[in-house]
Amino acid sequence: MHSRLVILYFARRPKLDLKQSAFDNRLVHRQVATGMHEKTVDLLRQTGLPVLLSDETNQVGNSLAERLTNAIKNAFAKGYEQVIAIGNDCPDLDHLHIQSAKAILESGRNVLGPAADGGDYLIGISRLSFDPIAFQHALSEKSEVHQALRLALLQNGQEPAELDCLIDIDDTASLFTWLNLNKSKARISRFVRLLLALLLVQRVYVAFSISAFNASFLLFKVNRGPPHLVN
């Protein structure tokens, strides 16, 4: 029996990820992007749901808004009634968020997973409520994407349900924010330990006094089984 719901994994391979310029160097970006990709693939495997992969080999469009809109259109064209779109930049996204989104969609309501930066780490949408023009326009709102999507995904007069607000790792600053929130946890994953190690070598701040000045600060930078994919 053909599933009515599919997960759309919308991302690029780590070495082609478009966010690399937002990190202090390519080594840190590559390690973060690779770890996030592996974590997301493992999550997709846990869900047991069908997955459509949208990456640099099949994305169509000149902007992220256009590419994601076309990817969702393609999923609906394949006969799916509901799509849960995720990327690979939210380390706290887990299978419970996916299951919650699935249950909400099956109840007849769209769903968003808001990110702390004003975007969304998860978009759950039904075919009947999908307006490609309004959706693409909402994605083009930059810092106000979440608020714009809330209006674009109205269904039967209802705004979409919302999951927990989580942190996306889009640049060095958001990486440090997320690490600072997670490093004190009693149990941390191998992925977190790797990122903490990168944190230690990424930036070293040294404060020192010089007689001619009250204080000076120098910043030293140290060069430092698959999910069920469907066609």
pLDDT tens digits, residue range 48-68? 999 999 998 999 999 999 999
pTM: 0.79
Angle at CA 142, nearest 5°, toward 173 and 77?
115
Q: Which of 79-83, 148-152, 173-177 has the highest mean pLDDT?
A: 79-83
CA distance 91 to 43: 10
Q: How sure is the predictor about 197, in pLDDT bands with cuts at 50, 70 and 90? A: low
Other CB atoms closer than 10 Å to residue 36's CB: what's the count? 22
CA dihedral 186, 189, 195, 200 (to 10 degrees): 40
List domains and CATH numbers for the chain.
Answer: 1-231 (3.90.550.10)
Structure confidence at residue 179 (pLDDT): 77
Residues of the chain above pLDDT 90, percent: 51
Structure confidence at residue 196 (pLDDT): 58
Q: How sure is the predictor about 127, in pLDDT bands with cuts at 50, 70 and 90? A: very high
At 68-93, the pLDDT tens digits run 999 999 999 999 999 999 998 898 99
| φ, ψ at 121 (rounded to 5°) | -90, -15
- With tokens 């990327």, the residue in question is 87
